[in-house]
């Protein structure tokens, strides 16, 4: 036990003494030995190291937050450019429609660049109806009842056949697509309803309503990744149940399968390419001239199919690509040109799934 004593002869002086022996402690004992001083120094160094690590972590988080904020601002700017592109596209559609009220001739199909501050952007406006409308395999309305449309199911199977998909696979997939969208729960031959999907490793049910995006086709029974990869460039999900409104004035010869599917088994790919290749300059002025071509001699479509090909485009597909610094942004939009002004129907960011 150590205590401090004040000597009467030396006022203000303080001595450290041992309580048991009443003698002052050695100066080395009062100040602490070399071991204690080393431990104190080690403690200080450890504290400095810990504080340095914490500071580095804080600076790293600050750097990350700065990059996230900058990327977010760049993305917002890119989306603003995309919306500006939509406005330009709607204006362009109005010009195309007003230029010729009866037909649309080769609308878009090429990238159009336009300058932006700090980067560049390109836009492509093309016919958005030159595809097989997956929702056409039914007729009716989601508000009432959706029933299977046999002519569209046959066209979907014919499209798959034109793309080299065996009929043994194409028929069941076409029926399964109708089952996926129609309102009833009774499967078509080779098709699939809830009971088939509930047996999957991850169970789910049929949608029983219109598709919002063509990527939903991947959930239909029988559609493998390879099959979907083959079909993806040829299918779309328009927000209507109309038969696929292929425009015979904007189709390219490479899109001949869309003509061959109109009357399954009656129009060969060779004849379909020839029809598109011999199209009059400026396009067909009358849909009857399209059906009167020599390649279609002997082909008698049903009244529903007879009115299916279009001379005037209603649906337009817009693809916007914006590059700002190291960031690339892509938007795909569907625009209804029949509205005044043209109306944006769907918008999707990123590459098509």
More confident: 41 or 345: 345
Q: Say which residues have a Cβ less than 8 Å from residue 255's Cβ, sequence separation at least 6.
A: 130, 276
Q: For position 98, what pLDDT does the model report?
A: 80
Task: Tell me the pLDDT tens digit for each residue of 224-262.
Answer: 999 999 999 999 999 999 999 999 999 999 999 999 999
Task: Tell me the pLDDT tens digit for each residue of 65-87.
Answer: 887 887 788 888 888 988 998 99
Q: What is the rounded average pLDDT of the residues 174-197?
A: 96
Q: For position 26, what pLDDT does the model report?
A: 52
Q: What is the rounded average pLDDT of the residues 178-190?
A: 95
Q: For position 22, what pLDDT does the model report?
A: 52
Band (pLDDT 50/70/90 cuts) for residue 7 is very low
Would you give the end-to-end CA distance of the chain in angstroms?
82
Q: For position 13, what pLDDT does the model report?
A: 45
Distance (Å, rounded) from C-alpha 126 to C-alpha 109?
A: 5
| SS3 (DSSP) at 18 | strand
Pairing, β 2-5 against β 15-18:
antiparallel
Distance (Å, rounded) from C-alpha 26 to C-alpha 28?
A: 5
Residue ranges of alpha helices (H) inside 163-233 are 167-181, 194-197, 225-231
Q: Is 308 exposed, middle or buried (0-12, 13-18, 19+ CB in 10 A)?
A: buried
What six digits make up the tokens of 224?
Answer: 């493998």
Chain length of the chain: 353
The angle at the Cα of 338, spanning 335 to 339, to the nearest 5 degrees, equals 80
Q: Are 217 and 230 in contact (CB under 8 A)?
A: no
Q: What is the rounded average pLDDT of the residues 61-65?
A: 86
109 pLDDT exceeds 60? yes
pTM of the model: 0.80
- φ, ψ (nearest 5 deg) of residue 167: -60, -30
Q: Say which residues have a Cβ less than 8 Å from residue 230's Cβ, sequence separation at least 6.
A: 163, 164, 165
Q: Are 258 and 248 in contact (CB under 8 A)?
A: no
On the question of a cis peptide bond just before residue 152, with omega within 30 degrees of 0, the verdict is no
Task: Tell me the pLDDT tens digit for each residue of 194-209.
Answer: 999 999 999 999 999 9
Band (pLDDT 50/70/90 cuts) for residue 268 is very high
Q: For position 182, what pLDDT does the model report?
A: 96
Q: What is the rounded average pLDDT of the residues 158-177?
A: 97
Strand partners, 140: 146
Task: Tell me the pLDDT tens digit for each residue of 111-165.
Answer: 888 888 888 999 999 999 999 999 999 999 888 899 999 999 999 999 999 999 9
H/E stretch holding 15:
strand 15-18
Band (pLDDT 50/70/90 cuts) for residue 17 is very low
Q: Are 85 and 318 in contact (CB under 8 A)?
A: yes
Q: For position 326, what pLDDT does the model report?
A: 80
171 pLDDT exceeds 90? yes
Distance (Å, rounded) from C-alpha 166 to C-alpha 200?
A: 24
């Amino acid at each position: 036990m150590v205590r401090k004593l004040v000597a009467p002869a030396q006022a203000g002086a303080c001595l450290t003494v041992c309580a048991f022996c009443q003698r002052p402690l050695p100066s080395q004992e009062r100040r602490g030995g070399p071991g204690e001083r080393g431990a104190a120094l080690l403690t200080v160094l450890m504290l400095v190291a810990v504080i340095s690590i914490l500071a580095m972590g804080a600076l790293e988080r600050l750097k990350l937050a700065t990059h996230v904020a900058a990327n977010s601002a760049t993305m917002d700017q890119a989306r603003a450019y995309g919306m500006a592109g939509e406005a330009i596209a709607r204006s362009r559609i109005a010009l195309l429609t007003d230029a010729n009220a009866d037909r649309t001739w080769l609308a878009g199909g090429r990238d159009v660049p336009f300058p932006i501050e700090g980067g560049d952007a390109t836009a492509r406006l093309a016919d958005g109806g030159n595809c097989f409308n997956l929702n056409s395999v039914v007729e009716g309305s989601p508000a009432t009842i959706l029933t299977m449309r046999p002519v569209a199911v046959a066209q979907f199977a014919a499209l798959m056949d034109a793309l080299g998909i065996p009929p043994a696979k194409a028929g069941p997939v076409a029926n399964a697509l109708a089952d996926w969208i129609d309102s009833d729960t009774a499967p078509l031959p080779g098709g699939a309803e809830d009971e088939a999907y509930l047996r999957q490793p991850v169970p789910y049910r049929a949608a029983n309503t219109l598709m919002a995006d063509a990527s939903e086709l991947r959930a239909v029974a029988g559609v493998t990744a390879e099959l979907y990869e083959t079909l993806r460039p040829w299918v779309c999900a328009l927000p209507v149940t109309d038969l696929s409104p292929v425009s015979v004035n904007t189709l390219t010869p490479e899109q001949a399968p869309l003509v061959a599917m109109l009357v399954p088994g009656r129009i060969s790919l060779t004849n379909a390419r020839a029809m598109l290749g011999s199209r009059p300059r400026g396009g067909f002025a009358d849909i009857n001239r399209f059906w009167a071509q020599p390649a279609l001699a002997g082909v008698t479509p049903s009244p529903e199919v007879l009115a299916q090909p279009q001379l005037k485009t209603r649906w337009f597909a817009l693809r916007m690509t914006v590059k700002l610094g190291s960031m690339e942004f892509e938007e795909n939009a569907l625009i209804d040109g029949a509205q005044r002004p043209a109306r944006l129907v769907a918008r999707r960011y990123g590459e098509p799934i």
